Amino acid sequence: MPRLTFSLLMSAMIGLLAGFSADATAQEYPARTVRIIVPFAAGGPADIYARFIAQRLQEALGQTFVVDDRPGAGSIIGTDLVAKSPPDGYTLLLMSNTHTVNESLFKEKPFQLMRDFAPISPLNYSDLVLVVKPALAVNNLPDLLSLAKQKPEALSYASSGPGTPYHMAGELFKSMAGVSILHVPYKGSSGARVDVLGGQVDMMFDAITTMSDFIRSGKVKALGTTGKTRSAILPDIPTVSEAGVPGYEAVIWLGLLAPRNTPPAIINKLNAEIARIISKPEVRLAWAKQGAIAMTMTPAEFAQFINEDIAKWAHIVKISGAKPD
- pLDDT for 8 equals 63
Domain termination site, one of 214, 243, 272: 243
The torsion angle over the Cα atoms of residues 48, 50, 55 and 60, rounded to 10 degrees, is: 140
Tens-place pLDDT, residues 181-238: 999 999 888 899 999 999 999 999 999 988 999 999 999 999 999 999 999 999 999 9
Query: What's the chain's average pLDDT?
Result: 92
- pLDDT for 25 equals 64
- The span from the CA of 158 to the CA of 314, in Å, is 22
Strand partners, 35: 66, 91
- pLDDT for 316 equals 85
> Lowest-confidence range among 1-15, 112-126, 169-183?
1-15
Contacts of 286 (CB under 8 A, 6+ apart): none
Q: HSE, CB side, 13 Å, CA atoms: give it for residue 274.
A: 29
Q: 90 and 110 share a domain?
A: yes
Domain contains 10: no
What global pTM score does this model have?
0.84
Percentage of residues of the chain with pLDDT beyond 90: 80
Q: 44 and 66 share a domain?
A: yes
Q: 236 and 154 share a domain?
A: yes
- pLDDT for 209 equals 87
Confidence class of residue 5 from pLDDT cuts 50, 70 and 90? low
Tens-place pLDDT, residues 81-137: 999 999 999 999 999 999 999 999 998 899 999 999 999 999 999 999 999 999 999
Domain termination site, one of 226, 243, 260: 243
Domain termination site, one of 222, 243, 264: 243
CB 49 within 8 A of CB 124: yes
Q: Please, which contacts does 172-176 make with residues 24 or more away whose CB atoms are closer than 8 Å?
A: 172/248, 172/250, 172/316, 172/320, 173/130, 173/205, 173/240, 173/245, 173/248, 173/250, 174/320, 175/319, 175/320, 175/321, 176/245, 176/247, 176/248
Q: 267 and 298 share a domain?
A: yes
Confidence class of residue 15 from pLDDT cuts 50, 70 and 90? low
The closest alpha carbon to 38, from 58, 67, 77, belongs to: 67
CA 276 from centre of chain: 20
Main-chain phi, psi angles of 94, to 5 degrees: -90, 110
- pLDDT for 236 equals 95
What angle, 0 to 180 degrees and rounded to 10, lies between the N-to-C axes of helices 165-177 and 299-320? 40
Q: 236 and 137 share a domain?
A: yes
Radius of gyration over every alpha carbon of the chain, rounded to an integer in angstroms: 22
Q: How many domains does the chain have?
A: 2
Q: 90 and 106 share a domain?
A: yes
Tens-place pLDDT, residues 43-68: 889 999 999 999 999 999 999 999 99
Residues of the domain holding 236: 127-243
CA distances from 255 to 123, 211, 215 (A): 5, 21, 27
Domain contains 196: yes
Domain contains 167: yes
Q: 120 and 257 share a domain?
A: yes
Tens-place pLDDT, residues 133-155: 999 999 999 999 999 999 999 99
Domain contains 8: no
Q: 151 and 102 share a domain?
A: no
* DSSP 8-state secondary structure symbol assigned to residue 310: H
CB 157 within 8 A of CB 202: yes
- The span from the CA of 151 to the CA of 92, in Å, is 45
Q: 160 and 67 share a domain?
A: no
Confidence class of residue 9 from pLDDT cuts 50, 70 and 90? low
Confidence class of residue 325 from pLDDT cuts 50, 70 and 90? low
Tell me what the mean pLDDT of segment 252-260 comes to. Answer: 97
Sign of CA dihedral 154, 157, 162, 168: negative
Q: When comparing pLDDT for 5 and 182, which is higher?
A: 182
